[in-house]
Structure formats: C-alpha cells, structure tokens
C-alpha cells in the first residue's frame, strides 16, 4: 500500500517546507578524467571501425558491407527506436502520475516526454546504472509538487516494473534455450548462470515485501532519546521501508492489470527489435531467444562507469552474441548500428527535452507564485468591501 492512500490527495506542495522553489536541477558533474576517458574510448571505437576491422581476416567483407546495409531495415530500426521510447513515456506516466493529485494536472504527456527523454539523455551520457537520469527525474517530479517520499516510492516501483521484464526474459530465455524449448545454442555461462541470478533477484524482491510497513516508525520510536547509533539506525531504516513500499506499489500495478505495464514491454521489445532489424540490414539475425538473452546479458556493461556505456555495452553484446555462435563480423556491424540508433540518436532530442523541461519547471514556479498570491488578494478585497466608506452629511 502506498503512503498516499487511494482517493487521498498528496499534501499540497506549497504547504511543505521541502519544496524549495529555488532548487536547481541536479548538477551532472563532468570531471577532467571523465572527459579524457570518453575521448579515449571514442577514439578506440573509431580506430576499431576505421583502421582495425578492414585489416582482419573474415571481417573485411562485412566491413565493406556497412555502406550496403539495407536502408529499409535501418528505417524500420529507427521507427522501433521511436516506439521504444514511446512505451517508456507511457510507462512513466502510468506509474508516477495518479489522477486527482496536485502533480497530475501538471504532468501530462508533454511533461512526461520531457522528463523521460531528458532523463534518458542523462543516462546515456553518464551511464553508471542511470544515476544521472534518476536524479534529474526526481528533481522534475519534486518541482511538479510531488512529495519526496512519494517520488522515492514510485521510483522504486517504476524500476521494479521495468526491470522485471529484463529479469523474466533472462530466466525464460536462458532456461528455454538450455532446455531445448527454444532453438539456438545454449552455452551454460550465458543461459543457466544469468537465469539463476535472475531467480535470486526475484527471490530477494519477494522477501522485501515481508518487511513490516511500520518498520520506519518502529525505528523512530527506538531512536527517540537515544544516542547517535540509534539515530543512524533510524535513518537506515528508511531504505528497506522505501524499497518494500515501492515493490508493493509495483505488485499493486500488476494486480490491477494496469495498461501502463504494456509500456515496459514495448520499451524492451522495440529496443530488441532495433537490434533485430540491424541484423537484417546486414545479414541474417540469430534465433529470437538467442538475440533476447544476448541483448540483456550485454546490457550489464551499462553498469560500468563509462560515458554512455560506450565500450561496456558494445563489448558485452558482441561478446554474448559471439558466445552464442553468431559470426563476429556480423555481430560487430549489427551492434554498432544498434548503438547509433538506440543510444546515440535519442541523445539529441533528449538534450532538447532537457532545456524544454527547464522552461516547463520555470512555468510551474510562476504558477505556484500566482496561486500563492491569489488568496491574499481575495482576503484584501473582502476586507476592503467590508470597510465603511463613510456617509454624507
């Protein structure tokens, strides 16, 4: 159950001291080391494509076919990219925005697009598991008037619902390939191991639902009048409380069969379809189950603190595909094309969305200021109308 019960509106944002109107968007720190690493990785990728690949036996023919890629399949891949992010926006709005709440009248589809695309651009640029995108999303939701604890709970729910598709695909795809249900090669390290990890993650998520809903209140009572250790423990209690609450919210969406859940399926499904179409543009794709499992295993490279995951995701996907028996030359061309369309191309509209979002947040600030002064003006008018103006003598 959510801390904001169904039918009960959120606390009015202007009545909460947490809502600092002058709060700036999160600073995505770019150090000199980050820039140097980005340039080195980019130069390495360019050198690999331009210098190394043409000289390697077995890769030159595929390299020569890059310019001969079927434009129809590449156009389809581009369309899949658009549809993928459309699903992401639908998922975002369905999980974060609830009718009847003050923030709902501000966050329509236009604002949802700006928040998600700006957050995805931050994730693409800074990688590290998407921390930059999460910070930007939280800032925008807070500016829309959503209480911080509600933002935290719904962010956990959003991540759980999004990555539940990821985990289930790994479990079903990996076990199905290993068991011969799906066609394709089934190396143990790329099927059974990821599937077991997925099962463990699901078990941990299920265990978190047994955390008492009032655990934070219990620790708060324990910390009253206590020392520093008690206070630290009380603060740490907010972590399992928030995680368990977010997982319960996610399960509530599933129980209600919320149509927004289709957004998560569309996001991942069309993203994989980009890679599938890129394979078709340059050759024959591997079996669908192989493509899905290799895709998700390769995405683990995004956890590396590399700008945009460049090098990590590419190498992970190519390595996984080769491990499944896909020709290396074809895997390299298809994955690099996928990266351009799925990761590079959306960064441009994402950057534009970031500046649009800042203007939207400024408008929200002006709106709050106007609504805050309106009651004062009304009171002054009522007082003026009740004040005697005097009588003629």
At 367-388, the pLDDT tens digits run 877 776 765 555 555 555 555 5
Domain that holds residue 146: 71-367
| Residue 126 domain flag | yes
Evaluate whether residue 94 is within a structural domain: yes
pLDDT digit string, tens, across residues 71-124: 899 999 999 999 999 999 999 999 999 888 888 888 989 999 999 998 887 776
| pLDDT score, position 220 | 57
Residue 25's Cβ-side half-sphere holds a number of Cα atoms within 13 Å equal to 21
DSSP track, 54-85: GGSTTTHHHHHTGGG--HHHHHHHHHHHHHHH
Most confident of 43-47, 71-75, 242-246: 71-75
- Take residue 175 and report the two structure tokens written for it: 């076990």
pTM of the model: 0.76
Structural domain includes residue 107: yes
pLDDT digits (tens, 9 = 90+) for 292-351: 999 999 888 766 555 555 557 788 899 999 999 999 888 988 998 898 888 878 888 888
Across residues 163-168, what is the average pLDDT?
A: 93
In this structure, are residues 324 and 184 in contact, taking their beta carbons and an 8 Å threshold? yes
pLDDT tens per residue, range 344-369: 788 888 888 988 998 999 888 888 77
H helix intervals, the chain: 32-47, 60-64, 71-96, 109-126, 131-143, 148-178, 188-208, 215-223, 228-236, 238-255, 261-282, 288-298, 312-323, 328-339, 347-386
Residue 73 CA to residue 64 CA, distance in Å, equals 18
What pLDDT sits at residue 144? 87
Q: What is the pLDDT of residue 392?
A: 45
Is 157 part of a structural domain of the chain? yes
Q: How far apart are CA 246 and CA 235, in angstroms?
A: 17
Cα–Cα distance measured from residue 197 to residue 203, given in angstroms and rounded to the nearest whole number: 10
Residue 386 lies in a domain: no
Judge contact between 190 and 225, C-beta under 8 A: no
Q: Is the pLDDT of residue 3 over 50?
A: no
Specify if 33 maps to a domain: no
Q: In terms of Cα–Cα distance, which of 7, 249, 10, 331 is closest to 142?
A: 10
Task: Specify if 11 maps to a domain.
Answer: no
| Nearest one of 157, 161, 126 to 249, comparing CA atoms | 157
Counted domains in the chain: 1
The Cα 192–Cα 176 span in angstroms is 10
Q: What is the Cα–Cα distance from 287 to 282, expressed in whole angstroms?
A: 15
**pLDDT-wise least confident of 153-167, 200-214, 286-300:** 200-214
pLDDT band at 194 (very low <50, low <70, confident <90, very high): very high
pLDDT in the model for residue 367: 80
CB atoms within 10 A of CB 225: 7
Query: Per the domain annotation, does 389 fall within a domain?
Result: no
Q: What phi, psi does 374 have (nearest 5°)?
A: -60, -45
SS3 call for 50: helix
Both tokens assigned to 69: 């890629």
Give the whole-angstrom CA distance, residue 44 versus residue 66. Answer: 19
How is residue 17 annotated by DSSP? Answer: T
**Number of other CB atoms surrounding residue 4 within 10 Å:** 18
CB 87 within 8 A of CB 101: no
């Amino acid at each position: 159950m959510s801390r904001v019960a169904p039918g009960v509106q959120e606390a009015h944002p202007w009545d909460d001291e947490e809502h600092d109107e002058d709060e700036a968007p999160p600073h995505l720190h770019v150090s000199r080391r980050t820039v140097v690493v980005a340039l080195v990785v980019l130069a390495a990728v360019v050198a690999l494509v331009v210098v190394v690949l043409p000289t390697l036996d077995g890769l030159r023919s595929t390299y020569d076919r890059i310019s001969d890629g079927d434009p129809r399949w590449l156009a389809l891949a581009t369309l899949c990219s658009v549809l993928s992010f459309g699903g992401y926006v639908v998922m975002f709005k369905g999980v974060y925005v609830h009718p009847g709440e003050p923030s709902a009248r501000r966050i329509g589809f236009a604002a949802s697009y700006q928040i998600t695309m700006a957050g995805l651009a931050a994730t693409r640029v800074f990688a590290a598991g998407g921390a930059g995108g999460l910070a930007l999303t939280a800032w925008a939701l807070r500016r829309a008037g959503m209480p911080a604890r509600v933002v935290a709970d719904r962010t956990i729910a959003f991540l759980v619902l999004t990555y539940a598709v990821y985990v289930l695909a790994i479990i079903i795809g990996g076990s199905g390939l290993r068991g011969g249900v799906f066609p394709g090669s089934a190396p143990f390290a790329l099927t059974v191991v990821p599937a077991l990890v997925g099962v463990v993650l699901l078990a941990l998520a299920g265990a978190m639902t047994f955390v008492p809903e009032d655990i934070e209140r219990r620790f708060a009572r324990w910390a009253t009048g206590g020392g520093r250790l008690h206070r630290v423990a009380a603060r740490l209690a907010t972590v399992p409380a928030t995680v368990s609450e977010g997982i319960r919210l996610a399960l509530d969406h599933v129980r209600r069969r919320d149509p927004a859940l289709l957004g998560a399926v569309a996001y991942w499904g069309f993203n994989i379809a980009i890679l599938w179409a890129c394979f078709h543009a340059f050759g024959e794709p591997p079996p669908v189950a192989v493509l899905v499992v290799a895709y998700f295993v390769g995405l683990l490279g995004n956890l590396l603190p590399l700008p945009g995951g460049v090098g990590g995701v590419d190498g992970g996907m190519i390595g996984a595909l080769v491990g499944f028996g896909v020709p290396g030359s074809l895997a390299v061309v298809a994955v690099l094309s996928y990266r351009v369309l799925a990761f590079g191309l959306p960064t441009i509209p994402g950057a534009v969305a970031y500046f649009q979002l800042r203007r939207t947040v400024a408008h929200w600030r002006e709106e709050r200021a106007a609504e805050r002064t309106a009651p004062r003006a009304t009171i002054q008018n009522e007082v003026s109308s009740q004040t005697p103006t005097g009588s003629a003598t």
